[in-house]
Amino acid sequence: MGWAFRRKKNIPGGLWDKCPKCAAMLQKRQLEESGGVCPQCGHHGRIGAARRIGVMLDAGSFVEIATDLKTSDPLEFAGYSGTIERSKKRSNVDEAAIVGHGRIEEMPVAFGTLDFHFVGGSMGIVVGDRIRAAAEHAFENETPLVLVSTSGGARMHEGALSLMQMAKTSAAIARLGETGLPYISILADPCTGGVIASFAALGDVILAEPGALIGFAGPRVIRTTIGTQLPEGFQTSEFLLEHGFIDRIVPRPTLKAEVAAILRNLMAGRERAAG
């Protein structure tokens, strides 16, 4: 499981990590306990799927689904199969989306998370199919859907097929929406490209972690395309909250409790409407 916190070369291996924001030397054990949040400055490090599941779901409740979906190389894109193999080793996951079901404060939910350590959390065919599988699981079992998104965007190695996942995932979310079952979308650093332009932006409630980069194109691409300097921090969670794109910024240590409270409210409202 990779951390955004890099190990310093002259530090005895495996025990310490350095915060990329405030440069504090932190014990790995401390970071385990804080879910990857720097106790000195509050920097939210990027965490992999296993850690994310641990942060969000009741211990031991997660059951993975859609594990039979395997990455293919439909365009025989140069170097892609090697990239996949390296990513598997580095991230300990077999694709950039891990989906299934579990419990949040004892409430059954369909749950999925992207893993930025696997080809930048990019969305190819398997990611699209797994997100759809999570939405269908929610639909069939009448549970809410909770997705955590962190992604560099569409997976270019799968060409136009990766762009088609935007429509596929959006349609699955729309179908769930017709039932009145809530979908909570959580945005973690960074959340960009085809993912933020599709299912990640479609939550009934959209939460973001503090300081996350969120946007369609990166600041450098926009600057060189339109030739204009953009306002400082215009693609952070905080800026987007101010401009109404997201509903709330929630620090990782209170994220699970916040999601549980929102789900309890929305599910009670749905029952009242039905009764």
The binding site for Zn ion (CB under 5 A) comprises 19, 21-22, 24, 38, 40-41, 43
Smallest gap from residue 42 Cβ to Zn ion (A): 7
Task: Quote the least distance from Cβ 128 to Zn ion, whole Å.
Answer: 35
Q: At closest approach, how far in Å is the CB of 44 from Zn ion?
A: 10
Nearer to Zn ion, 38 or 104 (CB): 38
Closest to Zn ion by CB, 40 or 81: 40
Separation CA 263–CA 182 (nearest Å): 7
Amino acid letter for position 202: L
| Phi (first) and psi of residue 15, to 5 degrees | -100, -30
By 3-state DSSP, what share of the chain in percent is helix, strand and coil, each rounded to 5?
40, 20, 40
- Shortest distance, CB of residue 11 to Zn ion, whole angstroms? 16
Q: Nearer Cβ to Zn ion, position 15 or 22?
A: 22
Cβ 245 to Zn ion shortest distance, Å = 26
The CA-to-CA distance between both ends of the chain, in Å, stands at: 45
Q: CA 109 → CA 35, 123, 181, distances in Å?
A: 21, 22, 10
E strand intervals along 210-266: 214-215, 248-249
113 - beta bridge partners?
A: 98, 148
Residue placing its CB nearer to Zn ion in the complex, 37 or 110: 37
Q: Which is nearer to Zn ion, 43 or 130 (CB)?
A: 43
